[in-house]
Amino acid sequence: MSEYKSIHGAKVQTYSTDPDNPINGQVWYNSTSNVLKVRRIVNSWATTNSLNTARAYLGGGGTQTSALAFGGEPGSGTTANTELWNGTNWTEVNNLNSTRRNVGGCGADNTNALIMGGFPGYVAITEKWNGTNWTEVNDLNTGKRNMGVTGTNTASLVAGGALPASTAQTESWNGTNWTEVNDLNTARSELAAAGTTTAAIAFGGTPSSALTELWNGTNWTEVNDLNNGRSYIAGSGTSTLGLAFGGSSSPRGYTETWNGTNWTEVADLNTARSALGGAGTQAATLAFGGELPSVTAASEAWNGAATVTIDTD
């Protein structure tokens, strides 16, 4: 039998706690629990507790265990409703100051979020969430809706959107003001984004709905397309480890992972939908709300990787 060292170039390491970022296939011994463990790719969606208010065209941000959902369309009209996710349940908290849907949103966790743009009309209003309340702050330079957004409430990026025609405009937020920066190469709306203000990815949208572009903090560069082009898509992760899920093209449950060069199709959502919210990383994402075509409160957790105990009996 081949030894682990001869295959991987190192002995099985011993840790008192599991390593923070083990790579796929890494094996280690946990001396506290006295078990052998391995990191493996899972790539599956699991149903979680639903939103209290079903809606589509909403904003969201945070992580798989600490997220926020806000705004949207609860079947008709618009809502200011905000819900907080603690890893188990959604809880209604204080509403937005401005009721709207087709918004852009992002955030680091359920205490840190930003909402901008939306409908009715082409809204420029921006609000910041501090864990308790929403506060109106400086507006976008150009009111729009259906943008791709990523970041936190102190550093975020808005790409594309509708004015009503699709736009290539990009704006960067520094926690106080919006600044127009270099445009996307292709104007589009109903797209998604992931990453930071200095390293981001924008994908999907209408038109050119498979198109993907990378942002290096200064310019956008066209890279390899999605395998399944679609609009009203959601995304999470970084510019090198991204996740795209849902969307308007049938079937609506498509999920794809991005490795910095190519997109790969993986397991679909359990509840196929478009116009949904998302939060998290490529390995651990939360998907919530959306349209089936009727609005839904469905919420799902994505597990891209997991630590598994090895049976040594």
Q: Residue written as tokens 């198109």? A: 211
pLDDT of residue 290: 98
Could you tell me if 166 and 224 lie in one domain?
yes
Distance (Å, whole) CA 127 – CA 134? 6
What's the pLDDT score for residue 34?
81
14 and 86 co-located in one domain: no
The helix/strand/coil state of 124 is coil
153 with 181, same domain?
yes
Structure tokens at 153: 């409430």
Beta pairing, strands 263-265 & 82-85: unpaired
- What are the E-state strand segments in 71-177? 82-85, 90-93, 104-109, 112-116, 126-129, 134-137, 148-151, 156-159, 170-173
Q: Beta-carbon neighbour count of residue 241 at 10 Å?
A: 18
By the 8 A CB rule, do 273 and 296 touch? Answer: yes
Tokens of 295: 């609005």
Instruction: Give the number of domains in the chain.
Output: 2
pLDDT at residue 238, as a whole number: 97
- Which DSSP category does 271 fall into? S
State the Cα–Cα distance between residues 164 and 162, nearest whole angstrom: 5
Residue 306, pLDDT score: 59
Q: Please check whether residues 204 and 86 belong to one and the same domain.
A: yes
Torsion of CA 136, 137, 142, 144, to 10 degrees: -40
Are residues 12 and 84 located together in one domain of the fold? no
C-beta of residue 167 within 8 angstroms of C-beta of residue 187: yes
What pLDDT is attached to residue 15? Answer: 86
Summarised one tens digit per residue, pLDDT across range 71-110 is: 999 999 999 999 999 999 999 999 999 999 999 999 999 9
- Closest C-alpha among 169, 124, 172, 127 to residue 144: 124
What residues pair up with 193 in beta bridges, in sequence order? 202
Cis peptide before 251 (omega within 30 of 0): yes
pTM confidence score: 0.88
24 and 80 share one domain:
no
Residues 61 and 19 in one domain: no
What was the pLDDT predicted at 36? Answer: 82
On whether both 59 and 83 belong to a single domain, the answer is: yes
Q: Check residue 6 and give its pLDDT.
A: 55
Q: Are residues 166 and 102 in the same domain?
A: yes
Do residue 81 and residue 146 come from a single domain?
Answer: yes
Of 161, 131, 138, the closest CA to residue 149 belongs to 161
User: What is the mean pLDDT of each successive set of 10 residues along the chain, which is 313 residues long?
Assistant: 53 83 77 77 91 98 98 97 98 98 98 98 98 98 98 98 97 98 98 98 93 98 97 97 93 92 95 97 96 96 75 59
Cβ atoms of 281 and 34 closer than 8 Å: no
Q: What is the CATH number of the domain that holds 171?
A: 2.120.10.80
Same domain, 101 and 15: no
What is the rounded CA–CA span in Å between residue 224 and residue 213? 8
Q: Do 172 and 212 reside in the same domain of the chain?
A: yes
Whether residue 79 contacts residue 105, with contact meaning beta carbons closer than 8 Å, is answered with no
| Residue 31 structure tokens | 């001396």
- pLDDT at residue 75 in the model: 95
Can you give the residue range of the structural domain that contains 178? Answer: 45-304
